[in-house]
Amino acid sequence: MNQNINTIFIVAGEPSGDMHAAKLVSALKIIAPKTRFLGNGGDKMAASGVEIIHHINDMSVMGFIEVIKHLPKLLRIMRKTVDTIKNVRPDRIILVDYPGFNLRLAKKVKILEIPVTYFILPQVWAWKEKRIRIMKKTIDQSISIFPFEAKWFNSRGLKTFYTGHPFLEIENDLDEKMSFLKKHNFNQERPIIVLLPGSRQQEINYHWPIFLKTITMLHKKYPGLQTVVAKSNNVVLDPVPNHIRVEVSSGSAIKYGTAAISSSGTATLECAIANLPTVVCYKMSYINWMLFNFFGKVKYISIVNLLANKKIIPELIQNKMNPENLMKKILPYLDTKSSKRLGTLKNYKKIRKKLGRPGVFDRVANIIVNGN
């Protein structure tokens, strides 16, 4: 691929992928300014100049049961996506995370002989390892955001570049902090607890009632506690009591909070990079839980603990995710001088050192355009 590239088709299927894909498009435009971008994504990709074929609001589902429920719609989206690629004949396809859809798409477009780049790779080292066979046959360029992951793929014959993690681009801005505090009428001298219940509606449905009960209990013990929930545009939170503020930018909430309760996902790593002590939790349907236990090959569900290779932040999964346990685990993190909090922050520093250095999207763009 070279700087004369005309068209790129890029696919993300959930809010985090939309954010990373948008930043990648902006970096690619610096190297290849005349390139046309189209694909599946969200508002951030649209703002970066991508012509959206399917919006992530129609695509963001997770878990066996949920996928079955939405299968007809997902199949229609897949057909239209493949048809669009056939008609447009882009010079390259870029897949961002969202493996359930993107790996199937890679298989379907292989016959078109269009180069395929995969950025933020499927975590097959943790779940469904056999999928690496599909990746070897269908992916031309693999780009990993974790050093251990790149090593894992390379050792199994899939050439993989390591660029560092996108969350390394997080910056703290004093004016932004003061704007955040003023917006929510927060006192910077009092603790702020950040709630991250998930970016998919089915996650919200399982998590939000438990989060609410936990916060009610915490407010009785901590009358001055300030609470903010990071809400994705594609989900509904109901109810939201007056004492819980709503923030559409999870990044701002994470940067300026004191401690967090977070569903397992990319947000937990964002918290680690932002030095926000976090209690990780997750609840799913019984069938999905059984499947996870059957196919899963990892000791931890949090990428933070996986990177550390030990439990440095608490994990409360399925039946262990209840208000009493959440409150017990979060309380030490609200005390800025507690040994538990200080120990977690010390381990966070070690995690950040493993994730490379800033400039990730520029490096990814250079690999895509120049192959190195």
Q: Please report the pLDDT score of residue 65 as a whole number.
A: 59
Q: Please report the pLDDT score of residue 4 as a whole number.
A: 64
What residues does 96 pair with on adjacent strands? Answer: 119
Tokens of 152: 């894992």
Q: pTM for the complete prediction?
A: 0.82
pLDDT in tens, the chain (372 residues): 444 679 999 999 988 899 999 999 999 999 999 999 999 999 999 999 999 999 998 876 655 556 667 678 889 999 999 999 999 999 999 999 999 899 999 999 999 999 999 999 998 987 778 899 999 999 999 999 999 999 999 999 999 999 999 988 776 666 788 999 999 999 999 999 999 999 888 899 999 999 999 999 999 998 889 999 999 887 899 999 999 999 987 888 999 999 999 999 889 999 999 999 999 999 987 887 777 676 666 789 999 999 999 999 999 999 999 999 999 999 999 999 999 999 999 999 999 988 988 899 999 999 999 987
- Calpha distance 152→130 (Å, rounded): 13
Chain segment 40-79, per-residue pLDDT in tens: 999 999 999 999 999 998 876 655 556 667 678 889 999 9
Q: Please report the pLDDT score of residue 110 as a whole number.
A: 96
User: What residue type is 323 in one-letter code?
Assistant: P
DSSP 65-120: HHHHHTHHHHHHHHHHHHHHHHHH--SEEEEES-HHHHHHHHHHHGGGT--EEEES
Tokens of 286: 């019984």
Q: Please report the pLDDT score of residue 2 as a whole number.
A: 47
84 alpha-carbon distance from chain centroid: 26
Give me the residue label for tokens 């994990």. 315
In a 3-state reduction of DSSP, which class is residue 53?
Answer: strand
- Calpha distance 156→131 (Å, rounded): 12
In the chain the domains, ranked by start, together with CATH numbers, are 7-164+357-370 (3.40.50.2000), 174-354 (3.40.50.2000)
Q: State in Å, rounded, how far the first CA of the chain is from the last one.
A: 11
Q: Please report the pLDDT score of residue 5 as a whole number.
A: 78
User: What residue type is 309 in one-letter code?
Assistant: N
Close Cβ partners of 242 (under 8 Å, ≥ 6 residues apart) = none
Q: Please report the pLDDT score of residue 345 as a whole number.
A: 97
Q: Please report the pLDDT score of residue 1 as a whole number.
A: 43
What residues does 194 pair with on adjacent strands? Answer: 228, 260
Chain segment 195-206, per-residue pLDDT in tens: 999 988 889 999
Q: Please report the pLDDT score of residue 18 as a whole number.
A: 95
CA distances from 344 to 172, 222, 294, 325 (A): 20, 22, 30, 18
